[in-house]
Amino acid sequence: MMSLTLYNTLTRRKEAFSTIEPGKVTMYCCGVTVYDDCHLGHARSYIGWDVVRRYLQWRGYQVRYVQNFTDY
């Protein structure tokens, strides 16, 4: 099976995905901050990270996924 490679913006390199605890992934993703009317761009955050979460689950990882929503 092909390994998962992600781009690390801190090191500016592609790196092999690894977990701190084998078989478990924890994800915290910033959601939208709504200050004006809702638009299609708000869906980007939800769809993008949901695809990553589903892929990791499909690969057999136990995923804990948390995403915030900020409104005023």
Instruction: Give the start-to-end residue ranges of the domains of the chain.
Output: 21-72
H or E element that contains 40: none
Helix or strand or coil: residue 7? Answer: strand
What is the pLDDT at residue 2?
A: 67
pLDDT of residue 71: 66
Quick one: pLDDT at residue 32? 76
User: Mean pLDDT, 10 residues at a time, over the chain (72 residues)?
Assistant: 85 94 92 76 83 94 88 64
Query: What is the per-residue pLDDT for 29?
Result: 86
Q: What is the pTM of this model?
A: 0.77
CA distances, 5 to each of 2, 30, 36, 45 (Å): 9, 22, 36, 20
* DSSP H or E run through 63: strand 62-67
